[in-house]
Amino acid sequence: MCYQMEKGYRNLVYFLLILGLLVAFGFYKPYFALFPDFNSSITLLVHIHATALLIWVLLLIIQPVLVLKRKYRIHRILGKFSYVLVFVIVATSIGVMMKQYNEGIAQKMSAITSLKTLIIPFAEIFTFSVFYVLAVIYRRNIALHMRYIICTALVLITPSLARVMGYWFEMRACA
């Protein structure tokens, strides 16, 4: 099987590094800056969720480098590891959404209003899952596989950018 990366995607790692910086910047104030004295709203579930997504971002950066360096065996091993990792990401995402819903109810939001706050996170995890499943289905078609994995990276832009805008520039969504 030939893993040669298309010429146009040889600089992909730079985009993924920028994405990694956006994620770090976006989640710095609400998560990383709290280390090691996290507040009570940062539960074990949130830690597992954050760790799994951080590992995903690292994989997004490492995997194309492995292909460029022709380390295909390690690339495949990490690809198989991603099956478990993505399960953890999806499961913890659902758990974090349930936590967010319950926090909304505790803050006297109506059930409908609390559910409305989950529309975008639900769409993001659904989209991420679809792109990942397609990447797995087309793992032998390198061009499609790579494009679907890139799409999983694109899904991470919205939550990261929303936090950058909210925490660093104090821009809040209007309801």
39/24 Cα distance (integer angstroms)? 19
Note whether residue 102 is domain-resident. yes
Which of 4-8, 55-59, 122-126, 142-146 comes out lowest in average pLDDT? 4-8
The secondary element (H helix, E strand) that includes residue 139 is none
Q: Return the pLDDT at 10.
A: 74
Give the count of domains, the chain. 1
Domain span including residue 155: 7-169
In a domain, 175, yes or no: no
* pTM confidence score: 0.89
Return d(Cα 71, Cα 144) in angstroms, integer: 20
Under 8 Å between Cβ of 53 and 12: no
Strand runs labelled E in the chain: none
Q: Is residue 42 part of a domain?
A: yes
Residue carrying structure tokens 């999806």: 90
- 92 within domain boundaries: yes
95-101 CB contacts, 8 Å cutoff, 24+ apart: 95/45, 95/49, 96/45, 96/46, 96/49, 96/121, 97/121, 97/122, 97/125, 99/43, 99/45, 99/46
Between the alpha carbon of residue 133 and those of residues 30, 86, 137, 148, the distances in Å are 30, 10, 6, 9
Residue 36 lies in a domain: yes
Residue 1 lies in a domain: no
In a domain, 174, yes or no: no
Type of residue found at 151: C
- Average pLDDT of the chain is 92
101-156: per-residue pLDDT in tens? 999 999 999 999 999 999 999 999 999 999 999 999 999 999 999 999 999 999 99
**Would 80 be classed as within a structural domain?**
yes
Residues whose CB is less than 8 angstroms from the CB of residue 61 and which lie 6 or more positions away in sequence, other chains included: 13, 16, 17, 20
